[in-house]
Amino acid sequence: MFKKIYKAIKKYDTIVIARHIGVDPDAMASELALKEAILLTFPKKNVLAVGTGGAKFAYLGTLDKLENVDYSNAMLIVLDTPDQRRVDCPEIDSFSYKVKMDHHPFVEKFCDIEMIEEEKSSACQLVLELLYKTKLKRNQSIIEKLFIGLVSDTNRFLFNSNSELFSLIAKILKEYPLDLPSLYQKLYMRPLHEVRLQGYIEQNMKVTENGVGYISLTSDVISKFSADVGSAGNMVNNFNYIDEILVWTMISEDKKNEIIKINIRSRGPVINTVAEKYHGGGHKFASGARVTTMEEAELLVHDLDRVCQEYIKNMEGGEEK
Ligand SMILES: [Mn+2]
């Protein structure tokens, strides 16, 4: 399938690369790196990497405006996004050819070529493989971006025991020595007010009977710590390995968009089935949902508690055997 994608890239002179709304390092690094690789290989092509960025990720590069595109002769590559409504790009249907490269569980088909590899760590890994399996060129800057996105999505390889991924990393390190401390500094540097918000969460998180850690962050609290909904929600990644907590969730009020965003993580129980019930989805152990009222959020916490209860019961049963 990589060859097929390469052929399509070769064929179209105008290529727009997009990814999901609510940008994160994997989404943004994969689109910018792929753009760079296509331009390095085919300098005459018109390649745009689009979507709303974030000041936080400016070190990855700048995004393009979607302008002067003759859709009837343009190809769209969607990275890191399973469903059409979450693609951060207007007029998707106007493109004459569409390719999807994603590592999320399948949601819907909306492209001509759909590469869905759920066992892959990140969209950046898919782009890396595309570079190594086709004639697309690469350089230090492309590889650095892809490495940053990959490290971010795997949370520094926390959940990956995949030998294929480590072989790929070994291969790139032989070719491109990476200065990890400086790359990690770009990715993980954060302002003090965010750390203070994290302290607030640590102090105020509640825990249910069966080990669901949860906290409601009202927009007042979020703004008191000069944070935004996105960065508050992302803190969900910092609460692994707490003895009393199996599943944990940040419930953040987004007043501007009149929704409540919910980020959920787990170190055992499968949670995406619960997230799907509440207008969300995602991976087995890392999901998101959105609701409109705090009552709904409470119901979600209750459902998560049930999933944990079931999980604990099965674990105990398993040990007896
Ligand atoms: Mn991703």
For residues 52 and 183, membership in a common domain is answered with yes
Q: Ligand 1: distance of its center to the CA of 252 in Å?
A: 21
Chosen domain end from 153, 187, 221: 187
User: Where residue 141 sits, what CATH number does that domain have?
Assistant: 3.90.1640.10
Query: How far away, in angstroms, is 303 Cα from ligand 1 center?
Result: 26
Ligand 1 centre to CA of 79 (Å) is: 8
Give 234 Cα–ligand 1 centroid separation in angstroms. Answer: 13
Nearest Cα residue to 240 out of 248, 251, 231: 248
- Supply the CATH number for residue 276's domain: 3.10.310.30
pLDDT digits (tens, 9 = 90+) for 113-150: 999 999 999 999 999 999 999 999 999 999 999 999 99
Looking at the structure, do residues 197 and 316 belong to the same domain, yes or no?
A: yes
pLDDT digits (tens, 9 = 90+) for 1-50: 999 999 999 999 999 999 999 899 999 999 999 999 999 999 999 999 99
pLDDT > 70 in the chain, percent: 99
Residue 288 is encoded by which pair of tokens? 């998101």
Looking at residue 319, what is its pLDDT?
Answer: 55
When pLDDT is averaged across residues 223-241 and rounded to a whole number, the result is 88
Which band of pLDDT confidence, cut at 50, 70 and 90, is reported for residue 318?
low
Confidence of residue 247 (pLDDT cuts 50, 70, 90): very high
Q: How far is the CA of 286 from the centre of ligand 1 (A)?
A: 11
Cα dihedral: 19, 23, 26, 29 (round 10): 80
Q: What is the mean pLDDT of residues 192-220?
A: 96
Rounded to whole angstroms, how far apart are CA atoms 7 and 99? 11
Output the average pLDDT for the chain. Answer: 94
Are both 174 and 231 inside the same structural domain? no
Q: How far is the CA of 13 from the centre of ligand 1 (A)?
A: 27
Residues 116 and 132 in one domain: yes
258/122 same-domain check: no
Residue 72 in this model has a pLDDT that exceeds 70: yes
Domain that includes residue 42, residue range = 2-187
What is the CA(120)–ligand 1 centre distance, in A? 9
Could you read off the pLDDT of 287-296 as tens digits, one per residue? 999 999 999 9
pLDDT at residue 234 in the model = 82
* Angle (deg, nearest 10), helices 123-133 and 2-11: 80
Distance, CA 179 to ligand 1 centroid (Å)? Answer: 23
Distance (Å) from CA 153 to ligand 1 centroid: 6
The distance between the two most distant Cα atoms of the chain, rounded to a whole number of Å, is 66
Same domain? For 183 and 245 the reply is: no
Q: Considering only CA atoms, which of 130, 129, 142, 152 is closest in space to residue 176?
A: 142
Q: In what helix (H) or strand (E) does residue 48 lie, and over which residues does it extend?
A: strand 46-49
Domain boundary (134, 160, 187) is at 187
Percent of the chain with pLDDT over 90: 83
Ligand 1 center from residue 321 Cα (angstroms): 38
- Quote the ligand 1 centre to 317 CA distance (angstroms): 35
Number of domains in the chain: 2
pLDDT at position 321 is: 42
CA of 117 to the centre of ligand 1 (A): 11
154/64 same-domain check: yes
Answer yes or no: do 122 and 238 share one domain: no
What is the tens place of the pLDDT at every residue in 73-84? 999 999 999 999
Confidence of residue 232 (pLDDT cuts 50, 70, 90): confident
Do residues 113 and 101 make contact, with C-beta atoms less than 8 angstroms apart? no
How many A from CA of 26 to the centre of ligand 1? 5
Instruction: For residues 160 and 278, give the distance between their C-alpha atoms in angstroms, rounded to a whole number.
Output: 28
pLDDT digits (tens, 9 = 90+) for 156-177: 998 777 899 999 999 999 999 9
Distance 319 CA to ligand 1 centre (A): 35
**DSSP structural state of residue 106:** P
272 and 129 together in one domain:
no
CA distance 142 to 176: 10
- Please tell me the distance between residue 287's alpha carbon and the centre of ligand 1 in angstroms: 12
